[in-house]
Each structure stands twice: as C-alpha cells, then as structure tokens.
Amino acid sequence: MKRLVLLITLIMLVVFAWAQQNPRFVIAADLRSATTDVTFSPEGKYMVTAGYNVKVYEFNNGSPGLLKVVSDHKGYVNAIAFSPDGRYLATGSDDNTVNIYRVNDGSFHLIKTLSDHSWNVNSVSFSSDGRYLATGSDDNTVNIYRVNDGSFHLIKTLSDHIDFVNSVSFSTDGRYLATGSRDSTVKIYRVSDGSFQLIKSLKDHSGDVNSVSFSSDGRYLATGSDDNTVKIYRVSAGRFHLIKTLSDHREVVFSVSFSADGRYLATGSEDSTVKIYRVQGGRFHLIKSLNDHSDFVTSVSFSSDGRYLAAGAWDNTVKIYRVRGDSFHLIKSLNDFYGVISVSFSADGRYLATGSVDTTVKIYRIRGGSFQLIKSLSDHSWYVNSVSFSSDGRYLATGSDDNTVNIYRVSAGSFHLIKTLKDHSWDVISVSFSPDGRYLATGSGDNTVNIYRVSSGSFHLIKTLSDHSNYVMSVSFSADGRYLATGSWDTTVNIYRVNAGSFQLIKSLNDHRGGVNSVSFSSNGRYLATGSDDNTVNIYRVSAGRFHLIKTLYDHNDKVNTVSFSSDGRYLATGSRDRTVKIYRVSGGSFQLIKTLNDHSDAVWSVSFSADGRYLATGGVDGTIVYRIYPK
C-alpha cells in the first residue's frame, strides 16, 4: 500500500512539474468587436455601424470613408436608427441607455441620454412621421417616446412581453408597431394619436424572435428567429396572416430587412450567410446566397435608394454590395477599422487599456476573470498607437498619429484628461514610463525620443534624443530604471544610460536587417528582446552596461511587431504580421518555443502580460484577445 501511495505521489509530482513547464493559454475574453447593427441615413449620405462604439461613414458612390467615431456609451452598442428626416440618430446600448444625436452637416452632437430602461437596450426605431421613438430592452419592455423639436418625452411603457425584447419596428404608414421577443412571440400594436393598443400576438415561431421588419408598402411583415426560419405575414386591415415560412438558413436568423422599393428581402444568419429573396405577388423567391462573411451575420440594411446592401457580422467586417437588378456584387469590405494597435495592463491588475485604429482608448475593468468595458476615451483625433500605465497606476499615457500624447489621471475607475503633450512634430508611436514613475519617454515618427520629468501631475520636457535617422517605433526602460532602449526603422536599437535626469547614449545595436518595431527588457534586467521587420527576434544578455547578442529566434514567417516578457521573466511573448503569437520559456539563457497561438485572423500588433502573470492580452487588426494562463 505504501508503495502504491508513493507511486501515485511520484506521478502527481511529475504531472505538476510538466504542467509548470507547459502552461496552457486559454481564451478568457474575446474583445474583438463584432458589428451588431448597420444602417443608412434616409438621404443615403451616411452609413453608421454599431459595436463597441458607433462609427459614421460618409457614403459616396459606394465608397464609405470613416468620418467620425462616437464613443459616448459605456457598453456595447446594439442598435442604431435615423429619424425619417435624418435630423436625429438614436443608439441603444448594453449600458441601459439610448443616446440621441442631432445630425447637422457631418456633425453628430449628443443632445439627450434616455435612461428609462433597467437593462440592455436591444433595438430602436422611429415612426415614419418622426413623431415617436420606440426602444426595446432586456427588461422585457418597450418604451415609447414622443419626439418634438429635439425633445424626447416618455409617454408609454409596453409590458406585454415576458422576456427580452429583441426588435421593434414601425410600419411605413405609421399605423402599426411590431415587437419581437425572446418569449418567441411578435406583438402587434395599433398606433393612433399617441395610444398604442395591443391587437395581436403572433406565436408561430418556436424560438427567440430576433428581428422584425415591415415592407415599405406595408403589405408584409418579416420576422427572423432562433428557430432558423423567417416568417412572412400579409398585412391587411389590421389582420396579420402567415403566408410563408422561409427555411433556407441552417442556423439562427438574426436580421431581416426589406429594400425601400419592396422588391427584395435580405436575411442574415448565424450560418454566416445573407439570403436574398425577390418579392413578387406574395411570393418570396430565393435568388442569391451571399457567402462572403466568416462568422455570424447580425445585421442587414438596404440604402434608401436601393442601390446598396450592407451586411455586418461577428467577423468584424461590414460588406457592401452594389444592387443592380437581381445582381448583388461585393464592392467593399470594411475590415481594417477595428484594429487594436496597443494593449497594456495596469500594475495593480485592475484595468486593461487598448489603443485602436478607430482613434479611441478602451478601458476594461478586470474583476473575477471578467473584462468589463467601463470607458471609451475619444480625445485623440487619429490612430492610437501606444498606451502605458505608470507603475503606481496613477497615470495613463496614450500616443497617437495626431502627434500628441494624452495624460489621464486614474482614480477609482475614472480617467480624467489632465494634459496633452504636443512636442512631437509627427506620429507618436510609443510611450513608456520609467519603473519609478519619474520619467515618461515617447518615440515618434519625427525620429526623436522625448523625455518628460513627471512630478505631482506635471509633465515637463527635459530632453529630446535625436540619435535615430528614421521612425522611433518602440521605447522601453529596464526594470531597474538604469537603461532606456529605443528601436527604430533605421534598423538600430539605441541604449541610453539613465542617471539623475541625464540620458547618455552608450550603445547602438545593429544586428537586425530590417526596421525594429519593438523592444522589451526582462523584469530581472538580464535580457533585452527586440522584434524586427526581418521576421526575427534578437535576444541580448545585459551585464554591466554591455549588451551581448546570444540568440536569434526565427520562428515567425513575417514581420515581428511586438515583444514582451512576463513580469516573472519566465516567458517571452512575440506577435507578428503572420497572425500568430509565439510563447517562449526563458530558462538559464535558453529561449524555447513552447506554444503558438493562432486565434487572430490578421496581423498581431501588441502583446502584454498582466503584472500577476495570470493573463496575456494580444491586440491585432481583428481586435483584442485575452488569454488566461494555467497554471500560475
């Protein structure tokens, strides 16, 4: 018996040792931004998409150009709708609110926040005459607001559903309001002079009703459901008669939408397809299946002139199709505007910050393994390339292509902009605080590194380092604060000795054959890792001011954009344009590749370990992924 116990104990020790040497990286939070809704303005001038924020595109002859990013909500944006005259945009969010924006010549000005729901707002819809706004929520209710010259007054709450209200839609003549719910029913209300009378409950679906839409002539109502079907009802004199069930999707139907002329019905599904039906004489004939998305299609919308169809999906893209007769030709895929360029954890592990191509900085609160979006900072006017917390957690610095560095004071979950540094003449690509918090270094496309002394909330420029001859892509202090490394597209890494405010160039490393995109010191100060456009990572041993190349890692097959050590120095993570993240075990000067993470669908731009070593965040063209590392 003792021998058996001894054997079991030995096996457990071997397994434990193996696990310590071979950690698992499990996705804990996928923060890549799906497109939840897409819509066109009535005159066709704008296309708006919803996700983590609201993006406004100026739509010109089928070519959408990003005009504005609206980030006033504190949660995911589920629904967007223009008023019929195009003067207002309503947005519904997981923060339980509806925001109202006044639209005027390209400006979108927040004029009102409606806070009457107690849970997520899933759908918003204006009546055709613009007099009413209906909002549907996970609190099982529909709120009705009277709209009058910019005022939105709550006049009615409809409480007839017994589960989440997923979709609300007015008929074109304004006589009816249809609401779809997770209770599998569609409620029909007659609208008359401010009264909303329930006249019908349609119970033909066997699953959640996700979307409801009237045809422009008011003759048909389409409903999409979790039962994988679309139901078509003929509308006549207050009667709703089921005439057709469309069963062409293999999975949940998330969205249904008629073209403005009523000739086509588009449906989007969890099966990643968009189905196009020709509507003629009460018949709905499937003429096209669009298979360009790689994930759930959550929203479909025709432009008011019927020339374009937009489809948004969980693959982070919006596909634009030109409609000509029965032809739907893909002319544009918007798939590059969710890119996350930089990720950074606060030292206390309470927050994750991400900087993005969409010009925003997102702040997530980390609690019990969940990552909750609590803030979207919209103070930059162009791409945010770098985000960095000070070691004491009091400040967040963000660098942008608008040539500025923003400084935020962090206090009890609030992020207050206290300073904008404007000393660079070109894009700010990298920002980094010294470990003691006394200095902030910023690298720029103007080929320089600026050094700021930090004292009681003031940031004073004390030095500009001009030793590089091309863009400075990365700046990093050693853990003991004695050295500053800077990587540049001039293919060099410069090493500066830091001493009482002086920054003396002591070494220029010339071992890469391409631009240097990232530099990172290990926490014990023994190693410096550098990632380059030559597809390699160089490892230097640091000793008494000497930097000796001991290893070149050749495991990526495209440019290496980012490198980062874990806080305990046991692991090195590297991200590349080859869409992968490589994990190396660091032991006694050896760097052994132990894991390749293949979850990104495009280039990886940033990697960052949490201070406690429990999480790894990776940011790329397709957004942010957070991995839980087992075992700790």
Within a domain: residue 138? no
pLDDT tens column, 348-359? 888 999 998 888
- pLDDT of 74 above 90: no
Q: What percent of the chain has pLDDT over 90?
A: 70
Within a domain: residue 491? yes
- pLDDT of 396 above 60: yes
Say whether pTM exceeds 0.85. no
pLDDT tens column, 120-162? 999 999 999 999 999 999 999 999 999 998 899 999 999 999 9
Within a domain: residue 497? yes
> What's the whole-number mean pLDDT along residues 284-303?
92
**pLDDT at position 18, please?**
45
Instruction: Work out how many domains the chain is built from and give that number.
Output: 1
Q: Average pLDDT, whole number, for the chain? A: 90
Within a domain: residue 259? no
**pLDDT at position 632, please?**
45
- pLDDT of 500 above 70: yes
Within a domain: residue 421? yes
**pLDDT at position 15, please?**
46
- pLDDT of 8 above 60: no
Within a domain: residue 544? yes
pLDDT tens column, 40-50? 888 888 888 88
- pLDDT of 57 above 90: no
- pLDDT of 539 above 80: yes
- pLDDT of 10 above 60: no
Per DSSP bridges, beta strands 176-181 and 186-192 are antiparallel
CATH label of the domain that carries residue 522: 2.130.10.10
Residue matched to tokens 């000796």? 548
Closest-CA residue to 202 (of 228, 234, 172, 171): 234
Tell me the C-alpha to C-alpha distance, in Å, between residue 545 and each of 435, 480, 484, 540: 18, 13, 11, 12
Range of the structural domain that residue 562 is part of: 339-630
E-strand stretches of 139-206: 142-148, 151-158, 165-170, 176-181, 186-192, 195-202
Within a domain: residue 424? yes
**pLDDT at position 205, please?**
97
pLDDT tens column, 610-621? 988 889 999 987
Within a domain: residue 379? yes
> What's the whole-number mean pLDDT along residues 52-65?
78
CB atoms within 10 A of CB 488: 27
**pLDDT at position 307, please?**
85
Confidence grade of residue 478 (pLDDT, cut at 50, 70, 90): very high
Residues 6 or more apart whose Cβ sits within 8 Å of residue 486: 441, 443, 449, 465, 468, 472, 474, 475, 476, 493, 494, 496, 519
- pLDDT of 336 above 60: no
